[in-house]
Structures are given as C-alpha cells and as structure tokens.
C-alpha cells in the first residue's frame, strides 16, 4: 500500500518509563517514603504545576512566532512550514494541559498579568541557564529553540528544580498516578463540558485529547513530551526508521534540520546530526527585528507605539478567547482563528516598521495591556 498519509509514527512518542526515579518525590518532598502521602497536598501541588505547565507551553509561543513572522514572505519555505507546525503543536499542548487541569477540578488562568513572561526570560519551572528572547529568525535563535526542546537526557542532579520540560512533566505524571490511586479515581470529575475536544482544535500533529480519566491525562502528557523531545534516548532500536517524508518527528529534530540546513535521512541515528539532502535556509531573508522590543522603549502615542499597542490588544483578545474557551466555553475557540490571522498581520506590519537605530525594525512585544 501507499506510504502516503501515514500521519503518526507511534514511535515518535516518548513514553516515560515507569521505573525512573521521580525527583519531585525523592527530593525535598520525599515524605512518601516515611509518612503516608497527603492527597490534599498532592492535589494542591498538581493544581499549581498544571497551571505552570500551561504557562510553560505558552512561554515558547511568542519566541517561535517572532522567528516565524520575521521571515520575509516567499522565502525560507522549509523553515516557515516547520516553525508554523511546531507553534500549532505548542498551542495544542497548552490546551491539553488546560484539559488536564480542568479534569481534576482546577481553573486555568490564561489572561492574567503574570501569565505572560517578560522577555528575556528563563522558561517557567525550568532551571537552565539559557535565556529565551523575542528575536528574529537566526542561527542563534534556532539554537535557543533546540535548547528549549532538547531531550531529557540529564545526569542525576540534586535539588527540586527541573532541568528539562520532560523532567517537569515526569513529576506531574507521577503525582497524577498517585493522586488517582489515593482517591480511587474520584479526582477525575469526568465532566464533559469544560473539555476542549478535537471538534474545536485541529490543524496539528496529534489529536487533541479530552481528559476524563487518568489514562487520558497520561496519554496527553506523553503526547506533549513526545512531540517536544521525541524519542527517548533509552529507546535505541537501530532497525526502526526514525526519519522520512511521512514520519513525524519531534520538535528538537525538526529545529535541528533548520539549524544544519539539512534534512535527516531515514537511516540517520537520533544521536547524530542530519545527513540527508540539503534544504535552503536563507538567514538573511529576514526582517531585522529589534531584540526584545518593549512599548516603554517608545514615546507613548507615537505611530510605532500605537502599532505595538494594537498588536498587544489583539494578543490579549486571543488570550481572553483561549481563557474563556478553557473555562467552560470550548466552542469559542473556533472564533479565535480570526484573531490568530489578525495577530499575524499586525506582527508583520511591525516587522516592516523602522524602529530607533538605523536598519532596525520594530516587532511584536507580547505585553499585557488592558
């Protein structure tokens, strides 16, 4: 049969092994070994961590969008398609994290002032030394993206902190399993109404998973981690082709193809750089966007300030829309599509507007506005 339309390679998912030690339970919170775990405490931690997960997934979107929108129309098709598909998946992850939070009786908060990171920033919850900027598409910015999406292969380390997104989700996963056990499954309310489903969300790799029970929640987490980091390094099956035209592989590897200007070939190993056919990456066909622009850099009321303000108003409208959709009105998400287009047009307008120094252009600042 035709190999076309093989949408998902099941191997792309990184199923977190059950026997890995869980730092969140071992360190600092290691009450588990000595005293019976307190379900109230786990639930409190989960509600917090899932809200943080939504924030974390969202925090990658503005940097990816800046890179995407800085690429000049009609150029860098490969990079544009790659980044676009990854952004759509990050939005999917954000909504799935909200679904899990809703499933255990939480209330996602997506439109609050502290929801948006102030760039430059570290990623929420992830204690790594790299700083994420709002900046144009460049080899340096793609290098940061690689660090964001990098695999969970880290040496054992001390402390409560998480060194990768995967590590953070592993802790959430453990807590969900534990709490489900302690409450005999009661923690999952099984309510249909607040769940965003594939009816409202589409256009990305992997289906949106509605969460009614533990298995759904775990599948959603595996999907999030799998799409980001991809194949677990502990799985090393030399007979399995990990790459190819119709195999979807994780964000890390897709960014790596842009970084190297070369695609993976089916026989490449996940440990090596891509060695397949070259792809055209034109690092110069890019608007020269100011690094981390801010409205406060500009005289209030000036034309560029106004454009930036308009952009942020659209961005807030979109966050409000997603907030309402994830708080009981899922069908609102369908109307958010128009806002997403609007956001793009306004961002590109900024990229074409000179800003301060000779040769620099303005850009979207992704700031909270009333």
Q: Contact residues for other proteins (CB under 8 A)?
A: 1-2, 4-5, 7, 74, 77-78, 81, 85, 88, 198-199, 202-205, 245, 337, 341
Nearest approach, Cβ of residue 66 and other proteins (Å): 21
Q: Which of 245/284 has CB closer to other proteins?
A: 245
Instruction: Tell me how far CA of residue 188 lies from CA of 51, 168, 192, in angstroms.
Output: 17, 21, 11
Pick 30 or 337: Cβ nearer other proteins: 337
Chain centre distance of CA 260: 22
Q: Judged by CB, which is closer to other proteins: 5, or 129?
A: 5
Q: Is 21 left (phi over 0), alpha (psi -120 to 50) or beta?
A: beta
CB-wise, 9 or 138, nearer to other proteins? 9
Q: Which is nearer to other proteins, 243 or 355 (CB)?
A: 243
List, in sequence order, every residue forming a beta bridge with 361; answer none if it has no partner: 289, 354
CB count within 10 Å of CB 25 equals 18
CB–CB of 54/102 below 8 Å? no
Considering the complex, state which of residue 170 and residue 250 has its C-beta at the smaller distance from other proteins: 250
- Report, in Å, the least distance between residue 150 CB and other proteins: 24
Q: CB-based contacts of 237: which residues, under 8 Å, 6+ apart?
A: 11
Least distance from other proteins to the Cβ atom of residue 224, Å: 17
In the complex, least distance from residue 95 CB atom to other proteins, rounded to whole angstroms: 15
Closest approach of other proteins to the CB of residue 279, in Å:
9
**In the bound complex, what is the minimum distance in angstroms from residue 64's beta carbon to other proteins?**
16
Q: Measuring CA to CA, how many Å separate 63 from each of 203, 258, 296, 363? A: 20, 16, 19, 11
Give strand pairing partners of 71: 286
* Beta carbon nearer to other proteins, 2 or 34: 2
Q: Please identify, using beta-carbon distances, which residue of 291 and 340 lies nearer to other proteins.
A: 340
CB of 246 to other proteins, least distance (A): 8
Integer Cα distance of 166 and 150 in angstroms: 9
Nearest approach in angstroms of CB 2 to other proteins is 5
CA dist 266 → 230, 247, 321 (Å): 15, 9, 41
Contact (CB, 8 A) for 343 and 39:
no
**Spatial distance between the Cα atoms of 102 and 188, rounded to a whole number of angstroms:** 9
Query: CA–CA distance from 207 to each of 51, 204, 215 (Å)?
Result: 21, 7, 15
CB of 206 to other proteins, least distance (A): 9
What is the rounded distance in angstroms from the CA atom of residue 161 to the CA atom of residue 125? 7
When the beta carbons of 275 and 280 are compared against other proteins, the nearer one is 280
Under DSSP, the state recorded for 332 is G
Q: Are 160 and 29 in contact (CB under 8 A)?
A: yes
């Amino acid at each position: 049969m035709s190999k076309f339309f093989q949408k998902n390679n099941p191997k792309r998912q990184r199923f977190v092994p059950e026997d890995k030690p869980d730092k969140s339970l071992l360190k600092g919170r290691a009450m588990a070994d000595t005293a019976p775990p307190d379900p109230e405490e786990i639930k409190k931690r989960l509600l917090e961590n899932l809200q943080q997960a939504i924030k974390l997934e969202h925090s990658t979107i503005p940097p990816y969008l800046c890179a995407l929108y800085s690429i000049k129309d009609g150029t860098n098709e490969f990079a544009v398609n790659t980044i676009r598909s990854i952004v759509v998946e990050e939005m999917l992850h954000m909504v799935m994290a909200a679904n899990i939070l809703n499933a255990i009786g939480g209330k996602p908060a997506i439109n609050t002032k502290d929801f948006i990171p102030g760039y430059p920033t570290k990623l929420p919850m992830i204690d790594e030394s790299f700083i994420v900027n709002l900046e144009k598409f460049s080899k340096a910015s793609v290098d940061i993206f690689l660090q964001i999406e990098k695999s969970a292969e880290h040496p054992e380390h001390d402390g409560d902190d998480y060194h990768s997104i995967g590590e953070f989700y592993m802790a959430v996963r453990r807590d969900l399993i534990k709490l489900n056990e302690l409450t005999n499954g009661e923690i999952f309310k099984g309510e249909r109404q607040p769940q965003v489903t594939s009816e409202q969300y589409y256009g990305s790799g992997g289906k949106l998973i509605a969460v009614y029970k533990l298995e759904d929640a775990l599948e959603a987490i595996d999907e999030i981690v799998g799409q980001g980091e991809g194949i677990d390094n502990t799985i090393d099956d030399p007979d399995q082709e990990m790459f190819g035209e119709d195999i979807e592989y994780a964000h890390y590897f897709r960014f790596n193809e842009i970084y190297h200007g070369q695609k993976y070939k089916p026989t490449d190993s996940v440990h090596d750089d891509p060695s397949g056919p070259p792809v055209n990456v034109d690092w110069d066909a890019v608007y020269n966007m100011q690094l981390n622009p801010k409205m406060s850099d500009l005289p209030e009321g000036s034309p560029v300030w106004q454009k930036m303000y308009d952009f942020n108003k659209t961005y807030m409208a979109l966050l409000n829309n997603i907030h309402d959709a994830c708080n009981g009105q899922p069908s609102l998400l369908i109307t958010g599509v128009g806002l997403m287009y609007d956001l793009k047009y306004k961002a590109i307008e900024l990229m074409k507007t000179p800003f301060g120094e000779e040769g620099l252009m303005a850009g979207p600042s992704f700031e909270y506005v009333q």
